[in-house]
Chain A
Amino acid sequence: MPLQNVARELAELLKGSQADYVEAHLEESQTSHLLYRGRELESVGRSEAAGGNVRAMVKGGWGFVCFDRFDDLRGRVEMAIRQARLVGLETSQLASVPPVVDRVEAGLERDPVTIPLAEKKQLLDEYNEIIWQQPEIQTSSIGYGDSRKRSIYLNSQGSFIEQERADISLRIAAVAVRDGDVQQAGLSVGTRGDLAPMRKLHQEVEHLSRHVVALLSAPQAKGGEYTVVLDPVLAGVFVHEAFGHLSESDFVYENEHLRELMKLGKRFGGRELNIMDTAALPGLRGSYRYDDEGVPAARTYLIREGELVGRLHSRETAAKMKEKPTGNARAISYRYPPIVRMSNTYIEPGKVSFADMIGDIKEGIYAKNWYGGTTSMEMFTFSAGEAYLIRNGKIAEALRPVVLTGNVFDTLKNIDAIGDDLDMNEGGGCGKAGQMPLPVSNGSPHIRIRRCLVGGR
C-alpha cells in the first residue's frame, strides 16, 4: 500500500482518538553500502525498509508502538493509547504549535542510492589505492553508506508533513604495523546526499596514510595538563560533547537540582564565547525544515557572550520549563520515539588568527581531527585523530593520538582564544539512548584551551 494511503487512513483514525495527543510517523527508506577491508570489497548490499509508529499521550504518560506492517492500523492506535493511559497519572503538557500541512522535497539533482554501485566502487578503489601506496600499511577499511528516506508525520492536531531526505557517510581508516606495534588513523565525512564532495578527498586520504605510518615512530604524550589548541573539526566535537548534550533539556526538565544549575543567565565562559544550534541552515547533515514532532526548525543560541541563554527542546520539555519549543525532537527511524537532540551545533567565530593563537605557547598540544567523544554531562572526553607538540610557538613533532577530558563547569571558562576560521564537520553521527547514528554536524573555528587534561603514559 502506498505510504500516502496509509497516512490518510491514519489521519482519520487520529481525528477521533481518545487521548490528549496522538502522532504517527511513517517511513520508507532505501540504502546501499560498500565496505572494504584491506584490498577486498568485503560487503556490498542494498536494503529497503518501510514501517511506522504511533505515539500517544494521556495525562502526561506516553505509549509507543512501532511496526513493519501496515495492517490493523486501528489496533495499533488503540494499543498506543491504552499504554499511555496505563502510565499517565498527571496532566499532559505540550508546547502549542500551529498545525502544519507541508511537503519538503530532498532537493537533489541525483538520488545517491540509485547511483550505480560500480561508480561508487570505482571512487573507493581510488582511495584504497592511495592508502596502499605507503609502505608499512597493514590494512585499511573503507565504509561507505547512503540512504534516501521519505517520511510522513501526522498528528491529532491536524499536522500532515511529508519530508524527504538523503544522507551519505564515508569513513576511511588505515592501519600500520611495525614489530607488533599497531597504529591506526581515520577520517570521517558526510553530506546531505551529494556525492560530489566525496569525490575530492584524494589529498586527505594521502595525508591520512602518510600520517598513520609516521605514528609508528611517534612518541606517546605524557599524561597531564596542557595548553591545547583544537582545530575546527575537533573543536566541533568538543562543543558537541562539552556543552551540546548538557543543553538537551530532557536531561534537565524533571530534575530540580539541574534546573537550578542550568538557570538561564549562568556564566559558562568568557565574553567571546557564543554557541549556536540550528537546523535552519540549508544543506548541512543536521538540517531539516520540521523536526519529528512537526515543529519548525529554529536558531537557538545556547551561549551568548559566555552566558547560558537557551536550550534545546521537545514540545514536552518546552512546556514543562515554560520556554519556547526549538524543534529539536528527533528520532533515527520509525523504530524509536523522538527525543531531544542537537542539529548543527557550532562555536561562532572570533578574531584570533591561528598564528597568534599558537605564537606564545612554550609547550602545548595541537590536536586535530576527531576519533570519538562522549559525555556524562559534567565530565566529557573527546579524542583526536592527530596530535602534535607545540614548542615555542611552532607546530613540532607528531604525537600518538590523544584522549582529552574536561569538566563543563571549568573547561569552557578556560577557552582563552577563539579563531576567525569557522568550519563545519559533517562526519560521523551522534548516539543517545540507543539511537545511533543520528546525522548531525558541528563546527568551530580553532580554539585554545588552557589547562586541559590529556591522557597518556
Chain B
Amino acid sequence: MEAILEQAKKSAEAAEVFSVSSEETQVHFEANRLKHLQTKQQTSLALRVIRQGRLGYAITTSPDDYKSLVDNAVETSRFGMEAKFELPLASTYPPIEVLSPDVESVSIEAMVELGEKLIAAVAGHTPGIICEAEVSRGEVSVRLVNSRGGQAAYRKSYFRFGIEGNLTKGTDMLFVGDSHSSCRAVLEPGIVIDNVVQQLEMARSQATVATKSLPVVFTPHGVASALVMPLMAAFNGKTVLEGASPLGQKLGEEVFDRKFQLWDDATVSLRPSSRPCDDEGMPSQRTPLIEAGKVAGFFYDLQTAALAGTRSTGNGSRGHGGLPAPSASAFVIAPGDTTFNDMVGDIREGLVVEQLMGAGQGNILGGDFSGNVLLGYKVENGKIVGRVKDTMVSGNVYQALKESIALGRDVRWVDAFLHTPHIYCPSISVASKG
C-alpha cells in the first residue's frame, strides 16, 4: 500500500489508499435440510487522489497491478469534484471492541448444529413449515494510509444466524423469520426461536380490517421496514446540503414527539455496524440526531461536512466502488416506558405491523411510506385476533411520529443497522381489499 501511495504522490498533491479484505464461511439450509457450504474471499484496494485540487478515484481487486490503478485515478481527477477538505492527520481512535477471537474457532460442525437447532425448534412448533436457515461467520480487515500521515488498521469479526419459514395452506402463504448478529460467536439460538414462534402464534388465525385510519403498533422489524428509511435519508448531511431534506432548515426545532430520541452510533461494542474509524480515517462517534423531539444534528463525511461548513461525524462510507459518502452507521432509538402488551391492550381496533413490504419504493425523501402488510396482526378490544392480508398501510413519518406516540420499554437490534423499541402511532391510513 505504501508503494502505491508513493507512486500516486508523484502525480497528485494528496493521496489515500484504502484496502479491505474479508473471508466468510456460510452454511445454508434449504427446505429444512443442509444444502450449501460457502467460503468467500474478497480483496479490494481503492486509491483516492487530490490532483490540481480535484478528486480522482479508482478501485481494483488486483493490487499487484497498481500502475493502472494510479492511471485510472489520475484520469478521473480531471472531472472530479473540487476537494474542499484535507485528509486527516494521524490520530488515536476510540478502543471499540469489534474483534472476538472465538468467532474464527467456531467449527463448521458447530455452525451446522446451530442451524439444525433453529429448524428443529421452528418445524417442531409448526408441522409443515418449510424453513431456510443460514449461519455465517467472517472476518474483515481494513487498512488505510494517506499522504498526510493518517493511518488506520483494524480487524472485525462477525457471526450471524437467521431463519425464514414459509407455511403454505391452499393459496395462503405465511412468511415468518428473524435473525441475530454480533461480533462474538453466539451459539444459543433461543432468542431467534422465541421470536419466530411468537410470530407463528400471532398469525395462527386470519382477520380482516376495514379501509380507514387506525392506531398501529410497529414492532422493531416494522420500524425497520416502514419508518427508518425516510429518516436515514433526511438526516444524511448530503441530502441536507442539497436542500432536499424536509429537516434541513429545522435544526433545533421540535419536529417529532418529545419522547422521540434518535442517534447514530458506530461505537457500540461487539456490534457488526461498529468500527474504530470510518472509511476516511475519522474517529467513530455517537451523533445525536433527535433530542426530545428536536432536530439535533445530521451525519457527515469529510467532503460534505466541508461544503456545509461543519465537521465530519465519522460517517464516511464507501459504497459500491465509489467515493466515500455519508452513510448511517447504526440508528439507535431510545426506549420508552410502555410494554408491548399495554400498547395492544389500549387499542380497540388497530394493527400490529411486523413487516411492511415495498415501503421503500415511494417518496422516501418526502417521508412517505406505503406498503403491503407482509406480516401483521389485527387488534380488537386489546387483543391480537389474527393475521391480516391484502392490506396496505400508508403514511408520512413526519406526521406519524409528530405527537402522541408511545415507545416500547424493550429494545432490540434489527439486522445490523437499527436498535429500536416498538413504536405506537395513534392514526395511520389503512386500505384493504373489501
Contacts and interface: CB of A to CB of B under 8 A. Distances in A.
B243 A138 contact: yes
A332 B130 CA distance: 27
B198 interface: no
Nearest to A139: B242
A171 interface: no
B76 A117 contact: yes
B211 A224 contact: yes
Interface in B320-373: 321-323, 325, 357-358, 360-367, 370-372
Contact of A456 (B38, B42, B394): B394
Contacts of B79: 34, 41, 44, 117-118, 121
B323 A43 contact: yes
Given A254-B130, A257-B128, A41 B80 contact: yes
B105 interface: no
Interface string B14-45: 00000000000001001101111111111110
Interface stretch (A64-72, A96-104, A227-235): A64-72
Interface stretch (A6-14, A279-287, A359-367, A375-383): A375-383
Contacts of B11: none
A371 B56 CA distance: 31
A31 B321 contact: yes
B361 to A, nearest CB: 3
Contacts of B394: 223, 403, 455-457
A240 to B, nearest CB: 14
B244 interface: yes
Interface of A: 31, 33-35, 37-38, 40-51, 61-69, 79, 83-84, 86-87, 89, 117-118, 121, 138-139, 175, 177, 180-184, 223-225, 254-255, 257-258, 261, 335, 337, 371-383, 400-403, 405, 407, 409, 451, 453-457
Contacts of A400: 363
Contacts of A455: 370-371, 392-394, 431
B76 to A, nearest CB: 5
A40 B79 CA distance: 10
B206 interface: no
Interface stretch (B57-65, B96-104, B151-159, B259-267): B57-65
A403 B371 contact: yes
A379 B36 contact: no
A125 B206 CA distance: 54
Contact of A65 (B39, B374, B392): B39
Contacts of A68: 41-44, 61-62
Interface in B76-100: 76, 78-81
A456 B370 contact: yes
Interface of B: 27, 30-31, 33-44, 56-62, 65, 68-69, 72-73, 75-76, 78-81, 108, 128, 130, 166, 168-173, 175, 211, 238, 242-246, 249, 321-323, 325, 357-358, 360-367, 370-372, 374, 389-390, 392-396, 429-434
B72 A46 contact: yes
Ranked nearest first, the 3 interchain pairs of A and B with the lowest CB-CB distance are A381-B358, A223-B431, A372-B361
Contacts of B175: 376
B76 A48 contact: no
B244 A138 contact: yes
A146 to B, nearest CB: 13
A372 B429 CA distance: 21
B243 A139 contact: yes
A358 B41 CA distance: 55
A322 B322 CA distance: 45
B62 A50 contact: yes
Nearest to A42: B81
A180 B246 contact: yes
A64 B38 CA distance: 5
B36 A337 contact: yes
B361 A457 contact: no
Given A44-B79, A401-B363, 19 more contacts: A44-B76, A45-B57, A45-B73, A48-B68, A48-B72, A49-B44, A64-B38, A69-B41, A89-B33, A177-B244, A182-B244, A184-B363, A254-B33, A255-B168, A257-B128, A371-B362, A376-B357, A381-B358, A453-B433
Given A67-B41, A376-B357, A456 B75 contact: no
Contacts of A224: 211, 431
Nearest to B361: A372
B259 to A, nearest CB: 23
B30 A254 contact: yes
Nearest to A452: B433
Contacts of A180: 246, 249
B173 A381 contact: no
B322 A33 contact: yes
Contacts of A66: 38-42
A87 B35 contact: yes
A47 B59 contact: yes
